[in-house]
Amino acid sequence: MSASRSLPSSIDATLSLLQSQGYVADRALATVLFLALRMKRPLLLEGEAGTGKTEIAKVLSAALGRRLIRLQCYEGLDLASAVYEWNYAGQMMAIRLAEAGGVAGDRERLESDLFSERYLVKRPLLQALEPQEGGAPILLIDELDRTDEAFEAFLLEVLADAQVTIPELGTIKAAEPPIVILTSNRTREIHDALKRRCLYHWVGYPDAARELAILKAKAPGAPAKLAKQVVSFVQAIRKEELFKAPGVAETLDWASALVELDAVALDPAIVSDTLGALLKYQDDIQAMQGSKVGELLDQAKQAARG
């Protein structure tokens, strides 16, 4: 066995496991994650963009020393991309070679050879059912809301039994089911049937204290005063009417941008010039420019002092 580590034995242990990888979770998230690991249930994380849903799976993989297998969902995702497909070109080549070698007569053998593991291309869901060094892998099914309902129904089957059936080969069942993390940005609702199988957690924006801790962990180069002001400003701007409020990802980007510019504190000019690191829609940027920046900045500075 390699660097595999055992699962956390308490909520506090889960918190520090995540912390050891620079992930600052609140107690509610640590609790549901601890339970998901304990109860061997998939964990469905829904929430705003850039709030650390995908990161959880990555951090868990690193912290537990388990392989991370990622299925990125998108519209039109099919079984050939998610589970397996046959290496058609390879099969054709084998047939040609068999013909050339004059062994095509041994039809049965050729056929069973063509539909053996040798020509099976394993995609993430199938890979996740196979034994991995270090123990059951982390299976990240990312942005599930982007697939269609037919795929979701299929997924439900795979998750329920931790197995898939390949007609030409038979049923492949995981000896130890993978640790499954599903994420969704809620562009559509995930079906109740799938939700019922999972533990659920809504990943919201962090409060100021936690966002500051995240900033310290992820952007340690930012001066303390600047970090505090950045967090206060972001917390304030999230309360505004915006088309797209900044996530933690944007906070980190903005802090890095400010550090690049050698800023030690926020002022109206530098905020205006760097707003594009925080807001990604021109309408939002326009609405926040000018006197609004000054207003938010005053609020932020006051909060940062407090």
Binding site for ligand ATP (CB under 6 A): 22-25, 47, 49-55, 183, 185, 214, 217-218, 248-249, 252
293 binding partner (options ligand ATP, Mg ion, none; Cβ < 5 to 8 Å by kind): none
Burial zone of 107 (CB within 10 Å; 0-12 exposed, 13-18 middle, 19+ buried): exposed
CB of 50 to ligand ATP, least distance (A): 4
Q: Which of 127, 185 has the CB closer to ligand ATP? A: 185
* 8-state DSSP, 189: P
Q: Which of 19, 272 has the CB closer to ligand ATP? A: 19
CA–CA distance, 4 with 62 (Å, rounded to integer): 10
Structure tokens at 171: 């049923």
CB of 195 to ligand ATP, least distance (A): 18
Burial zone of 134 (CB within 10 Å; 0-12 exposed, 13-18 middle, 19+ buried): middle
218 binding partner (options ligand ATP, Mg ion, none; Cβ < 5 to 8 Å by kind): ligand ATP
If one asks whether residue 54 binds Mg ion (CB under 5 A), the answer comes out as yes
Q: Which of 18, 293 has the CB closer to ligand ATP? A: 18
CB of 112 to ligand ATP, least distance (A): 43
Select the residue whose beta carbon is closest to ligand ATP and give its number. Answer: 52
46 binding partner (options ligand ATP, Mg ion, none; Cβ < 5 to 8 Å by kind): none
65 binding partner (options ligand ATP, Mg ion, none; Cβ < 5 to 8 Å by kind): none
Per DSSP bridges, beta strands 43-47 and 199-203 are: parallel
Q: Which of 37, 214 has the CB closer to ligand ATP? A: 214
23 binding partner (options ligand ATP, Mg ion, none; Cβ < 5 to 8 Å by kind): ligand ATP
**CA gyration radius for the chain?**
24
CB of 228 to ligand ATP, least distance (A): 17
CB of 188 to Mg ion, least distance (A): 16
CB of 108 to ligand ATP, least distance (A): 49
CA–CA distance, 41 with 182 (Å, rounded to integer): 11
β strands within the chain, DSSP E: 43-47, 68-72, 84-86, 120-122, 138-142, 163-166, 170-173, 179-184, 199-203
Residue (of 60, 48, 50, 49) closest to 23 by Cα position: 60
CB of 82 to Mg ion, least distance (A): 18
β strands within 113-193, DSSP E: 120-122, 138-142, 163-166, 170-173, 179-184
132 binding partner (options ligand ATP, Mg ion, none; Cβ < 5 to 8 Å by kind): none
Residue (of 235, 82, 60) closest to 153 by Cα position: 82
211 three-class SS: helix
Residues near Mg ion (CB under 5 A) are 54
